[in-house]
């Protein structure tokens, strides 16, 4: 892995890590960096959800995930402008249920077609907090002409069932997505180049390199960035964690 700095970056002093000849990772501001990177076949992202992060009572006190979400500002939502149809043939974007009303019209106006897909959790948290149980998470797959969903008939299901990640497998991140979910998504997107502007601990990158695709990731949190570097380097060596 080659690690360096890009003082000419629009985001200021940006750390750049290059892993082999197919992976480039940036530590910095996605809103400043992503527009400078040019075209990708697909942007695959899990941006900050927008939701009410209070409540949970005694159950919450026994777990630190929600407090970590607040500390890292992962409950404030994201600027839809990061999704630019002039820079990608398709986009996959996760979102909270409460974001759908605003996000879907934006996507529908910028891409030829889209499908609303779902990760169904086999082990959802036993809470409801005056809402429905968090037993599923939505993601939209949107595409322009020539970038329609790929894969066999089984891969083209709109739902994927997988266990939520628990314990050490979360790599210190509150909202890491399971490998089974990301592997399916990468099989579904067309093309050979993937960008994840909100890389987190690198789950999209791990799935991308396992599938033989080129990957560029962006992450602002230095701890998560270092974790992503390690995970993706391991995946490149064929020993993905």
Residue 116 forms part of a structural domain:
yes
- Is residue 47 in a domain? yes
- Domain membership of residue 147 (yes or no) is yes
What's residue 238's pLDDT? 84
3-state secondary structure 84-114: CCCCEEEEEEEECHHHHHHHHHHHHCCCCEE
pLDDT of residue 44: 98
Query: For residue 188, what are the domain limits?
Result: 2-236
Per-residue pLDDT band at 64 (split at 50, 70, 90): low
Burial of 152 (0-12, 13-18, 19+ CB in 10 A): exposed
Question: Is the pLDDT score of 61 beyond 70?
Answer: no
Residue 241 located in a structural domain: no
Q: Number of C-alpha atoms within 13 angstroms, CB side, residue 199?
A: 36
Please indicate, yes or no, if residue 115 is contained in any of the structural domains.
Answer: yes
Within-domain flag for 132: yes
Q: Does 234 score more than 70 pLDDT?
A: yes
7 pLDDT tier (thresholds 50, 70, 90) = very low
The CATH number of the domain holding residue 143 is 3.40.50.150
Question: Residue 82 domain-assigned?
Answer: yes
What confidence tens digit (pLDDT) does each residue in 36-58 have? Answer: 999 999 999 999 876 555 555 55
The answer, yes or no, to whether residue 11 has pLDDT greater than 70, is no
List, for residues 150-204, the tens digit of each pLDDT value: 999 999 999 999 998 877 766 666 678 999 999 999 999 999 999 999 999 999 9
Q: 105 in a domain, yes or no?
A: yes
On the question of pLDDT at 8 being above 50, the answer is: no
Count of structural domains, the chain: 1
Residue with tokens 């002409």: 145
**Banded pLDDT at 232 (limits 50, 70, 90):** very high
């Amino acid at each position: 892995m080659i690690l360096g700095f890009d003082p000419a970056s629009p985001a200021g002093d940006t750390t750049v890590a290059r892993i082999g000849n197919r992976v480039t990772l940036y530590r910095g501001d996605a809103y400043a960096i992503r527009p400078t990177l040019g075209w990708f076949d697909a942007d695959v992202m899990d941006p900050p959800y927008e939701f009410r992060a209070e409540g949970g009572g005694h159950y919450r006190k026994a777990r630190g995930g929600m407090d970590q979400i607040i500390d890292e500002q992962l409950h404030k939502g994201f600027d839809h402008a990061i999704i630019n149809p002039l820079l990608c043939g398709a986009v996959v974007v996760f979102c909270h249920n409460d974001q759908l009303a605003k996000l879907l019209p934006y996507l529908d106006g910028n891409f030829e077609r889209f499908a609303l897909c779902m990760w169904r959790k086999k082990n959802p948290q036993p809470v409801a907090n005056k809402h429905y149980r968090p037993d599923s998470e939505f993601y939209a797959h949107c595409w322009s002409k020539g970038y329609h969903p790929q894969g066999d008939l089984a891969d083209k299901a709109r739902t994927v069932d997988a266990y939520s990640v628990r314990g050490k497998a979360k790599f210190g991140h509150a909202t890491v997505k399971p490998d089974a979910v990301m592997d399916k998504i990468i099989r579904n997107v067309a093309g050979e180049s993937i960008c994840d502007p909100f890389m987190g601990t690198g789950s999209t990158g791990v799935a991308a390199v396992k599938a033989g695709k080129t990957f560029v990731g962006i992450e602002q949190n230095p701890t998560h960035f270092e974790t992503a570097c390690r995970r993706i380097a391991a995946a490149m060596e064929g020993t993905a964690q």
